[in-house]
Structure 1
Amino acid sequence: MKRPDEHIWSLFRRHLQQTLTYWSVFFSVGLCVAFLGPTILDLRCQTQCTLQQITWVFFSQQFFLLVGSSVGGLFSKTLLSSLSALFTSTLIISLIFTIIPLCHHVILLSIAMGVAGKAMGVIDTIGNLQLVKLYQKDSAVFLQALHFFIGLGALVSPLVVDPFLADDSCVLSANWTANSSSPDLEHLRNTLAGHGAALHNTSQYPLYTDGVVVTRVSYAFWIMAIMNLPVPTAVLALVFHERLVSCSRSSPPLLDKELDSSTSAKDDVQGHGGVFDCCRPEILRGQPATFFVIHALGGAIVFITDGIIGSYAGFVYTYAVSPPLLMGHKTAGCLDSVFWASVTAGRLSFIFLSYKYTAPLLLSICLVGVILVHSLLLIFYTSHVFLFIGTCVLGLCISSVFPSMLAFTEDILDYKGSATTVLVTSASTGEMMLQLLVGSVIQSKGSYSFLLCTTITSCIGFFLFLLLLYTHCVHSNHQPDSSRCVDLKEQPNSGGS
């Protein structure tokens, strides 16, 4: 019997090209996720619209990302359809990067961002599904790496964009003079990151909408379009590697019934499809009620944790510059970067931790850590230093919840249901809805309610996780051929050929 690390490396070498391709498409998602916040003011200048109008571009991207996540599973019935959807989606992202500088009206820009959001959602669902199909019970390590590449793309994107951002007003009005004042653009960009509140707060900034546009942000989008082009190329190369298309008449395309055993093994996981695929009669037949409850609990947990990520990233700046902290704009602007850097670092570290420890143990530590950090942030709410420390630790703790929960839920259900699609869709919904909820609460109750909301939701998430562990024990009693109730001490990936 192979040792766990040898087993993991053996699997990785066997599926090297497939795994690297799926990781690369998530780098595309990261590029697309992170550019909108820093460039929103320059895009406002380009479209010559008001701040209230441009913030709806955020909603367009988030809403259609949710739509893409929901329907992405429909393209995963066969390997060919999955790779075709990935190729189309990654190519669309490059095309969107190219045409964004040509969108001179906010409606056109919203449509473009909606198309990009749908492509991102499709990639999110299919990428997770394909890795689960490839590695099944050994998927935890590779899912951690997959989500690390989103963080990597999200770190690279602002670095590409930053040199091309306007340092002053990028729409020069006819009555503009050298003495004309403009708001602190860095402060305004960070405020707009929490777009749930931005719709109510931006009327105080009198920026020009008519005049000469002097923004240079187009170059950043064209650079990212070129950076992203190798990704659809890698997907296309994988299609040929899997012999799913023909280059000549002498070698016809493989039919489903002619697939070799290795290709068939990749598609032997049934039931992955739309978000409601777990409710199909043929899937539910013979399954206990806990089958559906596990889907619901897993979705609820990632709804909360991804919602916390989106809310914290969106509103930590607003919290920091408000009383009682009253942190400087430039210092507070670093908090968001610290948070995303710690999320990325956390996902990198959990790649190694996930094959030494079980997913339930990692989830327990992470969810308890999130509650403790939020509680300490509430206690030391006047400390600038602790806000930075807490932001860093929070990013490390919450970074791996989604991939660990996905691996754990699929393992409980023995890869029979559509847990991946349900969890991906729930995470996208939580990221969108909790930001709107927290933004509304901040407007009505003040900035301190920001930490109170995230603390309460993190406690609810941990309670739901405990309920999931109990449901797992009940579910395992109805499955005579399944594994026993979860053991937090058992090491994962115990080997096997």
Structure 2
Amino acid sequence: MDKINNEIGSTIPVVSMVDEIKPPPQSSTSSKIAIPLVINGKECSKMEQKNGSNSVETDEERRLREEQEIAERNELSMIRMLVRHNQQIGIVGNMNIFKPSAEDERKKQVPDISSGSISDGLGSISVAGSIASSDEAFFHQYQREDLRRTVSMVSWGSGPAQTQVMTKRYKLITSAVLWFCYYSLALNDYIFGPTFNDLSLILGVSFDRIAYFVVYRQLAYTFGSLGGIAFDYVNRQLFLIALLLLSGASLMVTPYVPDVGWLFLIAVVNGFAAGACDVGFHVWILEMFQNGGGPLLQALHFSFGLGIASAPLISAQFLDESEGCSASVNDEIILSDYEIQHRRQTLFIPYLITGLIVSAGGIILLGLYLYKSYIPPQERKLPASFDQQMPKQLTRSEKIELWKRSLPSFYIISIIILGSVMLWSYYGLEVTFFQFLAQFSNAVPLPIHGSMSANLEAATGSAYAIGGLLAIWASFQIHPENMIYLNFILMNIGNYILLKCSETSLPWFWVGNIVIGFGFSSCYATAYTFLEHQINVTNVIGSIFLFAGGAGTAIFPILLAEICSKPLYLIYLSIFCSNLALLLFVVMHFITKIRQRQVKLIQDRLMKNPAMLVKIKQRTLSQLSYAPQ
């Protein structure tokens, strides 16, 4: 091995990065060549300290300096990474694994190697020394062309289209803002359910008709989720700000709608905005943290659980205590104008509080935009399951190139279809269950009505939030598929308890709902993480998943329009949807296991045949020779 290393040192030219300006080396007969790299007239080095400057640095100057330092370090890291690739390719070539083609043999008869300077547009590459043999000339020619690709890539990468450099501090601040916005989105989604009885009395319509509010809202939510496609063409941050402010305004006017038609119009506007916000928040988190976004996604749904628990608590003390769900169906109740006005004013308070919180989310997001606007990364993501199985000798760009060539389209289509139908079944159930939980508790023959039903919904939402908090820790310790199986087990336990005790035992009725809340807690976030580990979840694919889930939330409420007279329909729906989603996940898990075995075969072939690694490096570097359009 020492002999090989000595041969490498004497035959393979090594491109070294220098941090200080040094005089060029003297020409000698040695075969070792020093190639100092200069970019834009400056060597790639750490940012020099300001000379003789004793003035106090402002916050803006410090921020600009830090961004410049980060950009320079990233450029330096990029160049060093590809220089290491050059060395690896040279080592493989020295071991006679890389064989030049006939065309390469013709080229090396007239190698363009000489002392002097070669201009590459971004700076100059100084070449000194001499070549001892034709093989050495070929490998030096290959490295010089390779380095020219590196300089080309840095040239277009540092221009106006460069991806934004995001510090850890900026990512954490952005995540905290998104968590608050998602908390406000949960309030926006679940403030309506506990107030349906009051709205039916104010508008003088039956609950059966009010229940179609959920249908219209979730139908609009479904099409709003397709708004995620627009994030590829418009500024996502500004779009989300406008949607949150629109949602807040729609909440504030809800108690004063003159008739049920205007109420349904608010349902459409509010639902569309919520659907677009939902997909925007999910894709934003996954973009920022790439394959490490699983715990952050769990934290996002923990904040959503806090919103589910808070919404009924905000409205509980303002709800009417005299009538339950069944009363609004069986009895014809006509309120006087004074009573209607009084109930509108009372109901306006929780809707005003919720609307202000949702609007505050939009204002905070606007502040983040003014502080530093977010620019989505342009590089393509790599699924974690593939990334972890590939040899460490390959860089991210090379793994992406191999992934694109080895990934069958049938696999992607299968995962998208199965994942969409699974989310249609599960997510439709989750949203519908929480929307109708208050009416379900009022309809069962147990002493529950008014604020008590809101408290029950708050308890179930609290279980959802606590489960989401535990899932943040569990996501570091447990594989996503195992967490999903645990979620479905808890759902089925809760369904069994409710099926047996929903008409006989009040304590067990509470226990069953709380267990279901724990089952719901991390299922959606973990399923999203699992899908993101298998395929690249873009804005378009994320919109497809949420569109499928939203379709379930629009269809299932139609089946529960008569929940006041047939409360067990909710339990039957929960049993059917949870087990259908479980079955689909088992099939999807089986397909991903087959794919993992295929990737393992690719890994074994690469490790046994290093020449394949060289070909991948050549192909990837050749693509970097051209700036992306």
Match of 2:576 in 1: 456
Correspondent of 2:271 among 117, 120, 128: 117
**Counterpart in the other structure of 1:259:** none
Q: Does 1:74 align with 2:195?
A: no
Q: 1-side partners of 2:243 and 2:267: how far apart?
A: 13
Q: Decide which of 367, 387, 391 is 1:237's aligned counterpart.
A: 367
Equivalent in the alignment of 1:268: 379
Query: Relative to structure 1, is the Cα distance of residues 236 and 400 closer, same or farther in structure 2, using a 3 angstrom cutoff?
Result: same
The secondary structure found in structure 2 opposite 1:164 is coil
Shift of 1:28: 2.2
Does residue 183 of structure 2 align to residue 27 of structure 1?
yes
CA 1:410–1:104: 2 relative to 1, 3 Å = same
- Contact 1:50–1:209 (Cα < 8 Å) also in 2: no
For residues 434 and 54 of structure 1, do their structure 2 counterparts lie closer, same or farther at Cα, with a shift above 3 Å needed? closer
Q: Secondary structure at the match of 1:355?
A: helix
> 1:66 corresponds to which letter in structure 2?
T
SS at match of 2:232: coil
Whether contact under 8 Å (2:229, 2:539) holds in the other structure is: no
Partner-residue secondary structure (3-state), 1:328:
coil
1:434 is the counterpart of 2:577: no
Q: What residue ranges of structure 1 are gaps of 5+ in the alignment?
A: 1-9, 168-183, 192-200, 245-262, 272-282, 485-497
SS at the partner of 2:557?
A: helix
The corresponding residue for 1:126 is 280
Cα deviation, 1:330-373, whole Å, max 9, x if unaligned, reads 46664333222211221122122112222112112212332333
Partner of 2:308: 154
**Aligned partners of 1:45 and 1:209 also within 8 Å:** yes
Tell me the CA shift for residue 147 of structure 1: 1.6
Correspondence for 2:469: 348
Distance (whole Å) between structure 1 residues aligned to residue 558 and residue 405 of structure 2: 35
Does 2:262 correspond to 1:108? yes
Asked if residue 327 in structure 1 is aligned to residue 453 in structure 2, the reply is no
Q: Which moved more, 1:370-379 or 1:104-113?
A: 370-379
Secondary structure of residue in 2 paired with 1:15: helix
Asked whether the equivalents of residues 304 and 461 of structure 1 are also in contact (C-alpha less than 8 Å), the reply is: yes
Matches within 5 A, 1:199-348: 202-208=328-334, 211-212=337-338, 213-215=341-343, 216=345, 217-243=347-373, 263=375, 266-269=377-380, 287-314=408-435, 326-330=445-449, 334-348=455-469
Cα deviation for residue 100 of structure 1 reads 2.7
> 1:397 Cα shift?
1.8
Contact between 2:381 and 2:536, CA under 8 Å: does it hold in 1? no
Return the alpha-carbon distance in structure 2 between the equivalents of residues 316 and 101 of structure 1: 21
Quote how far apart the aligned CAs of 1:441 are.
Answer: 9.1
1:125, distance to aligned residue in structure 2 (A): 0.7
1:145–1:347 Cα contact (<8 Å) kept: yes
State the number of aligned residues: 411
The aligned amino acid for 1:150 is: F
| Structure 2 counterpart of 1:329, one-letter code | I
In structure 2, do the counterparts of structure 1 residues 112 and 438 end up closer, same or farther at CA, with 3 Å as the change threshold? Answer: closer
Q: 1:482 to 1:379 in 2, by over 3 A?
A: farther
| 1:384-439 CA-partner distances (Å, limit 9, x unpaired) | 43332222122112211110010110110144684422222222222332333355
The structure-2 alpha-carbon separation of the partners of 1:398 and 1:229, relative to structure 1 and needing over 3 Å to count, comes to closer
- Distance, in Å, in 2 between the alignment partners of 1:343 and 1:59 is 24
The residue that corresponds to 1:394 in the other structure is 516
In 2, distance between residues paired with 1:43 and 1:65? 21
Alpha-carbon displacement from aligned partner over 1:28-54 (angstroms, at most 9, x marks no partner): 211211221233344345545554544
SS class of match (1:327)? coil
Q: What amino acid does structure 2 have at the position aligned with 1:75? A: A
Distance in 1 separating the partners of 2:291 and 2:571:
36
Consecutive aligned runs of 4 or more in structure 1 exceeding 6 Å deviation: 283-286, 440-443, 480-484
Does 1:472 pair with 2:592?
Answer: yes
Give, in angstroms, the shift of residue 150 of structure 1.
2.1
SS at match of 2:176: helix
Determine the C-alpha separation between the residues in 2 that align with 1:371 and 1:42.
Answer: 32
Could you tell me how far 1:455 is from its partner in structure 2? 2.3
Higher gyration radius (CA): 2
Q: What amino acid is the match of 2:523?
A: V
- Percent sequence identity is 17
Distance 1:451 1:480, change over 3 A: same
SS of 1:207 mapped into structure 2: coil
Distance 2:209 2:440 in 1: 24
Local SS of the residue matching 2:477:
coil
Residue 482 of structure 1 deviates from its aligned partner by 8.6
- Paired amino acid for 1:123: C
Q: Per chain length, whose mean CA-contact separation is higher, i.e. which structure has more relative contact order (CA < 8 Å, sep 6+)?
A: 1
Amino acid at match of 1:82: R
Q: Is the 8 A contact 2:211 2:557 kept in 1?
A: no
Structure 1's 343 and 64: CA in aligned 2 closer, same or farther, altered over 3 A? same
Distance 1:359 1:11 in 2: 28
How far, CA to CA, are the matches of 2:220 and 2:260 in structure 1? 16
Amino acid at match of 1:211: D
CA contact (8 A) 2:246 2:273 kept: yes
CA distance in 2, matches of 1:483, 1:22: 38
Q: Report matched runs for 1:52-67 at 5 Å.
A: 52-67=208-223
Tell me: CA distance 1:336–1:51, structure 2 relative to 1, closer, same or farther (3 Å).
Answer: same
Q: Does the 8 A contact of 1:94 with 1:226 survive in 2?
A: yes
Structure 1 residue 104: Cα displacement = 1.9
- 1:144 touches 1:347 (CA, 8 Å); kept in 2? yes
Alpha-carbon shift at residue 242 of structure 1 (Å): 2.9
Given that residues 25 and 123 in structure 1 are in contact (C-alpha distance below 8 angstroms), is that contact kept between their aligned partners in structure 2? no
Deviation track 1:282-327 (CA, whole Å, cap 9, x = no partner) reads x99963312111111112222222233244435556666667xx32
Contact map agreement 1:368 1:462 (CA 8 A) in 2: no
Give how far 1:204 is off. Answer: 1.7
The correspondence of residues 2-17 of structure 1 with structure 2, limited to 5 A, is 13-17=169-173
Q: 1:261-283: CA deviations, max 9, x gaps?
A: xx46x343489xxxxxxxxxxx9
**Structural RMSD (CA):** 3.4
- Aligned residue for 1:128, secondary structure, equals helix
**Cα distance between partner residues in 2 of 1:320 and 1:483:** 55
Q: Given residue 22 of structure 1, which amino acid in structure 2 is its aligned partner?
A: L
Q: Partners in 1 of 2:244 and 2:289 — Cα distance?
A: 23
